[in-house]
Homo-oligomer: A and B are copies of this chain.
Amino acid sequence: MEKKGSKKQHLGQVIPGPTNPMVTPMLTDQYQFTMAYVYWKAGKHQERAVFDLYFRKNPFGGEYTVFAGLEECVRFISNYKLSEEDIDYIKKNLSVSCEDGFLDYLRGIDCSDVEVYAIPEGSVVFPKVPLMRVEGPIAVVQLLETPFVNLINFASLVSTNAARHRFVAGKSKTLLEFGLRRAQGPDGGVSASKYCYIGGFDATSNVAAGRLFGIPLRGTHSHAFVSSYMSLNDIKNKSLRKKNSSSKCEDFVGLVQKWLKKIQLSKSLRGIFAETNQSELAAFTSYALAFPENFLALVDTYDVMRSGIPNFCAVALALNDLRYKAVGIRLDSGDLAYLSCEVRKCFCSIEKEFGVSGFGKMCITASNDLNEETLDALNKQGHEVDAYGIGTNVVTCYTQAALGVVFKLVEINNQPRIKLSEDFSKVTIPCKKRIYRLYGKEGYPLVDIMTGDNEPSPKEGEKILCRHPFQESKRAFVVPQRVEELLRCYCSGQSDKKGETLPPLKDIRERCIKQLEQMRRDHMRILNPTPYKVSVSGKLYDFIHFLWLNEAPVGELR
């Protein structure tokens, strides 16, 4: 067979390197190199191995997971190459004086003989089902284990977390990811921005992520900005041009002050407002002078209802005089449900009293340690929040900081392999497999089924037996209305298969959103969701249990 480079297989698509330049062949565990050396010494390094990458349990107490991180894996292996410095370091750190032949072998590794099959990125996936099947020379595929698992674990965890936040928030709300500062390191932040977007967030505060991935950016100002102003005297240039006009208001500050007085004296709001904080008023005014078209203020530096809101309204009404529409406010502390309702009431009163159409509908953004639970509580209590800024909880996956993705040998030299364990759930499913998703009449996915690679595929309208891989009594006949084969070829190695092209981020995001919508609601709910069924064919079931008995040592009762 003619040798083909991995890049060629992607229809001429040139695959760039991983987003983070730190993702190199050295980003792996020492034991992968140790094992490579043993395989090489034993002459086993070229043996063809098949590994499955999968997880055992859905995160966050849920019953689904979003698969993400595939593109980074493909980029990684498409550009795999150990440098001379890498090889020197490996040589120095193997605890033997290793032979030069091994170093030459390492020099030659480029992953062009590795095949990668995977479920498309952004798909909804389930435990035990291989998300990726990686085939190639055993020594090479082992070297890929650590980076692949690293790249998939966090990506899938964050996408799932984002999807769960979206589910609770509802489709109509805007979800902003604000987590960079609390993320686990620089690309903990950058990759969280990317994978939150895939999971259904709308925008990020992270400039690096915005640029790298084309995610919309959001951000206005902080508390420090507010307290950096002392008084209105800080504002030197007070003039502001009227929107779409050459006429100018020479004293915008005066206009703001006039409005503040009006508000304070207004009948409908009388008594709500005491004297407002002048630093805050200056900060808001200054912000509006710089961004008259995009005035959005953080209103809780001193006191939301006594200071932040009247100051905001004064500036917004002054802007309105010049034909600018303020965007809204952000709340970052306190009782968000209560405050958002109070703020909405106030905006509506002002709309009515001063005849400013649209004022009541201004955007209320809430932030401050939001998570699934607080979003759910807000919904139950009733609130007027339009947009959520979510940081720590979504980017660090605070309620569950890791997903247990593993990478297991299932076949070598066409011999199926099994890993046993005293812990039942850790037994691996042997054999090179195919995976199908079977859909029911209503269009919902019913069950995923794994079969041996050479079994005939399930057919639409034809009855098929689906068995639980380990529990004898759990089995069911299914007549699928639609059959979807899940694993697709992303790197074709030296085979003749045509590799999938890598879709743009927005397509991955759309796939994710669409697949989530397609799921039966009982799999998605927060409280006691129904597990989605994952099964094996009857033939695969029999083989697993044959192999299991074969490998397990026979004990002795004493």
Contacts and interface: CB of A to CB of B under 8 A. Distances in A.
Interface of A: 18-24, 26-35, 37-39, 41-44, 47, 49, 51, 89-90, 93, 95-96, 138, 142, 145-147, 149-151, 153-154, 178, 180-192, 205-208, 210-211, 217-225, 227-230, 234-237, 271, 274-277, 279, 286-287, 289-294, 300-303, 306-307, 333-334, 392, 396-398, 401-405, 407-409, 412-413, 415, 417-423, 426, 551-556, 558
B419 A223 contact: yes
Contacts of A227: 409, 412, 417-419
26 contacts: A18-B186, A20-B20, A20-B22, A20-B187, A21-B22, A28-B180, A29-B178, A42-B234, A42-B235, A42-B237, A42-B289, A44-B228, A44-B229, A96-B293, A146-B180, A153-B182, A154-B185, A186-B187, A187-B187, A223-B408, A223-B409, A279-B551, A306-B553, A306-B555, A333-B423, A392-B404
Give the 10 A-B residue pairs with the shortest CB-CB distance, closest first: A30-B219, A31-B219, A224-B409, A184-B184, A401-B401, A396-B401, A149-B181, A95-B294, A41-B290, A38-B290
A90 B207 contact: yes
Contacts of A24: 208
Q: Give the number of copies in the complex.
A: 2
Contacts of A149: 181-182
A187 B187 CA distance: 6
B38 A274 contact: no
Given A26-B207, A93-B207, A185-B188, 13 more contacts: A19-B22, A20-B185, A28-B180, A29-B207, A31-B220, A93-B217, A95-B291, A150-B185, A151-B186, A183-B184, A184-B402, A223-B419, A392-B401
A35 B554 CA distance: 71
Q: Which of A20, A227, A287 has the most CB of B within 10 A?
A: A227
B409 A294 contact: no
Given A20-B20, A186-B150, A401-B398, A420 B552 contact: no
